[in-house]
Structure 1
Amino acid sequence: MHAFAVQPDDPAIHDLDLPTPRPEGREVLLKVLRAGVCHTDTHLREGGYDLGSRGQMSLKDRGIEYPMVLGHEVVGVVEQTGADATSVGAGDIRLIYPWIGCGQCRHCRAGHDNRCSAGQNLGVARHGGYAEYILVPDEKYLVDIDGLDPSWAATLACSGLTAHSAVDKVLPLEPDEPVVIFGAGGLGLTAIAILRARGHQNICAVDVSERNLSLARDMGAISTALSGPGQDPGDISRAAGGPAGAVIDFVNNGATAATAFDILAKAGTMIQVGLFGGEVTIPTAMLALRMIRIEGSFVGTLAQLHDLVGIAKTGKLPSIPVAERTLSAAEVSRALDELTRGGIAGRIVLTA
């Protein structure tokens, strides 16, 4: 099969000819129909994450094997199943939950694969969806998306799920209590849509792009604040109508994290999602006196993905802008370059 992969210390996307997997047991082989492009893919191509003064976290040192076929927002059509798979058959179209754990640890046993320290995430630790075919290790990771646009549905596996999980961590709140969203790209827009679908009213979006803020207002943000160097946190609080009961930071660099801490109300919640890197210094006494809760959030559970798809099927979740392109080595490379530079409105989805 054709697959589009990254090599270590090499920004090029390579068109490789790899053996087509044969499913066994509960495994399922799907022909890829859609593959979303995510910032995580840019970090895998770069080889690591920025840890501020601690340097760079090398993915090779953490056991990621190259060449790696990226792509974890995948919709496919079932091509072949292992002998023990009974819930799907050839021709079924499914969204893939890619955040797969070891299956043995306490987190996996509780249904929290995304917390597994030995994760086998598709498109990260196992070959993903930038290919003709993708092998899913268990049929339970396939989600029925009947009635949904497959390109938009593909984005639910990561940007949608990540936003949904982050929103779960801040609700319930009073509907008019300010919630501030840093970053109005694909994830931030989805979070705004989910908050509105779940009845929250006071949402303030913060972004460096006026175009993204316009999209945020279309999705249901009540107020917006244009971000930039030397921004006064008070400007965001005034735009939101007061200190924030919660902040969800889809950027999560040193500047946004520091501002998020400053604009929180007493007993507020700070959910750090983005992987743009850096570090932040927080006064420990204020952390205690203001009873601030800081929590990292990484994607979500299989149950949360089923819940999100259920919300989408009701029609209560407006879809974010999606730009479709052909699945090829050139288009994978172009999409990753554009994401790295910034300025993408919504999500890019590659179509086979």
Structure 2
Amino acid sequence: MKSYEVCECGAPLQLREQPTPAPSGTEVLLEVTAAGICHSDIHFWEGVYDLGGGKVMRLTDRGLKLPLTLGHENVGRVVAVGPEAAGVAIGDVRLVYPWIGCGSCAVCRRGDEQLCLRPQFVGAFRPGGFSDHLMVPHPRCLIDFGDMPQEQAAPLACSGLTAYGALKKFGGLLQSEPLVVIGAGGVGLMALAILRAMQARGAIVVDIDAKKREAAMQAGALAVVDGRASDAAAQIQAIVNDRIWAVVDFVGSSSTVQLGVDLLTKGGHLVVVGLFGGEVTIPTPYIPMRAMTLQGSYTGSLPELKELIALLRRSPMPHMPVEVRPLDSVNKSLNDLRDGNVIGRVVLSPN
């Protein structure tokens, strides 16, 4: 088995060859056929989150252990099953749900294992898919995605699920009010596609990159705005006659969160998803006086991923911009994503 591992945070991933493991118990071994690269992989690779004010959170202090095989957006073909792995057969091609919890705490029992305090996330706390094989602990983590192309299905495990989990938090508001989407990266473009499948009102997209704004328009945005414009907020408010009820921030920097807060009308709702880093200061009286909702969203649950797949099988979304690259391009691909040189998603293939 060949895998690319983080052996030192921030250093190039190293190729490691080892015997291919055999599944036991409920385990299922997959031959990886598609592995998406996500901004979370950048954070896991670099090993830190920026907390603003010169402060950082080191992931090695929160349970991340090296060496680590990254990759949490995975599709694979079943090649071996443990004796207790029911409901899956050799040859099945499945999408992997990566946000696995401990399985026994109250959070996991209620179905929100992505919020478990003892996580076993694929590509973070257990080996991921930047490899030619991937061991999955239980068949329940494997999802049939129908006849969708594998390179389109793989990003649904994080990019799609993260967008869907955030959009669900607005409830019925999306059918009556336009959404402001900050960030037209892979998750932002995925959100536009999912909004169309949800038959929502649509979105105004904010991004500092002209190419990404163009991609957003091609994906069906109602309008786009340059986030670096001095009058960005005024431009957005003019498009919707000054009343912004819903904002989702897929960047999560100091300036983007502040923009989201500034845009909201009384009773508005901001959902922050991105982990770019920084800090904001909000006068506390604003929270009750403006009756604002400021909410975080972290990926999504297994039931939500199943909901998303069912939604997209009923209302197929247009194909996302996806570039398939060989697995051995992983270091270049991580650098390209970090430097903002990727439109949509890069998906790695061992073959």
- Return the TM-score normalized by structure 1: 0.96
- 2:234 aligns with 234
Preserved CA contact (<8 Å) 1:247 1:260: yes
Shift of 1:230: 4.2
Q: Aligned letter for 2:83? A: A
Letter in 1 for 2:237: S
For 2:332, which of 322, 325, 334 is the aligned residue? 334
CA drift of 1:195 comes to 1.5
Which residue number in structure 2 is paired with residue 285 of structure 1? 285
The offset of 1:212, in angstroms, is 1.4
> C-alpha distance in 1, partners of 2:174/2:95?
33
* Cα displacement (A) at 1:229: 6.2
Give the CA deviation at 1:241: 3.8
SS at match of 1:266: strand
Cα deviations by residue, 1:208-265 (Å, 9 ceiling, x for unpaired)? 1222122212222111111116454222222344322111100010000001000012
2:257 maps to which residue? 257
Please state how far the C-alpha of 1:10 moved relative to its aligned partner.
4.4
CA contact (8 A) 1:224 1:239 kept: no
1:173-188 alignment, distance < 5 Å: 173=173, 175-188=175-188
Q: How does 1:296-307 map to 2 (within 5 A)?
A: 296-307=296-307
Q: One-letter code of the match for 1:197? A: A
CA distance in 2 between counterparts of 1:29 and 1:174 reads 40
8 Å CA contact retained: 2:2, 2:18: yes
Any idea what the Cα deviations from partners look like across 1:74-128, whole Å, max 9, x if unmatched? Answer: 0000011111112111110000000000001111001111010111100011000
* CA distance in 1 between partners of 2:321 and 2:174 (Å): 29
Amino acid at match of 1:338: D
Q: Which residue of 1 aligns with 2:165?
A: 165
Deviation at 1:19, TM superposition (A): 3.4
Q: Deviations over 1:55-88 (max 9, x none)?
A: 1111111111100000000000001111111211
Structure 1 residue ranges (4+ consecutive) displaced by more than 6 angstroms after TM superposition:
none
Q: Tell me the distance in 1 between the aligned counterparts of 2:47 and 2:256.
A: 24
For residues 10 and 202 of structure 2, the distance between their equivalents in structure 1, rounded to whole angstroms, comes to 44
In structure 1, distance between residues paired with 2:166 and 2:64: 26
Unaligned ranges ≥5, structure 2? none
Q: Equivalent residues in 2 for 1:38-53 (5 A)?
A: 38-53=38-53
SS at 1:344's partner residue?
coil
1:1-352 equivalence runs, <5 A = 1-53=1-53, 55-173=55-173, 175-228=175-228, 230-328=230-328, 331-352=329-350
C-alpha distance in structure 2 between counterparts of 1:171 and 1:189, whole Å: 20
> What is the SS of the residue equivalent to 2:12?
strand
C-alpha RMSD of the superposition: 1.4
Return the offset for 1:316. Answer: 3.1
Q: Tell me, yes or no, if the aligned pair for 1:35 and 1:71 is still in contact at 8 Å.
A: yes
Q: Secondary structure at the match of 2:169?
A: helix
Q: Secondary structure at the match of 2:267?
A: strand
Name the aligned partner's letter for residue 86 of structure 1: A
What is the alpha-carbon distance in structure 2 between the residues aligned to residue 261 and residue 38 of structure 1?
Answer: 26
1:26 shift after superposition:
1.2
Cα offset, 1:45, TM superposition: 1.2
Closer, same or farther: CA 319–221 of 1 in aligned 2, 3 Å: same
Q: Give the conservation status (yes or no) of the 8 Å contact 1:24–1:82.
A: yes
1:231 and 1:64 mapped to 2: Cα distance? 41
How many Å separate the matches in 2 of 1:171 and 1:216?
A: 23
Contact 1:178 1:241 in 2 (8 A): no
Single out whichever of 230-239 and 246-255 deviates more from structure 2: 230-239
Q: How many residues in Structure 1 have an aligned counterpart in Structure 2?
A: 350
User: After superposition, what is the alpha-carbon deviation per residue over 1:314-351, rounded to whole angstroms, capped at 9, x for unaligned?
Assistant: 243222100010111xx110111011111311000001
Q: State the SS of the aligned residue for 1:234.
A: helix
* Partners of 2:174 and 2:31 in 1: CA distance: 45
Give 1:336's aligned amino acid. Answer: L
User: Which letter does structure 2 place at the counterpart of 1:152?
Assistant: Q
TM-score normalised by length of structure 2: 0.96
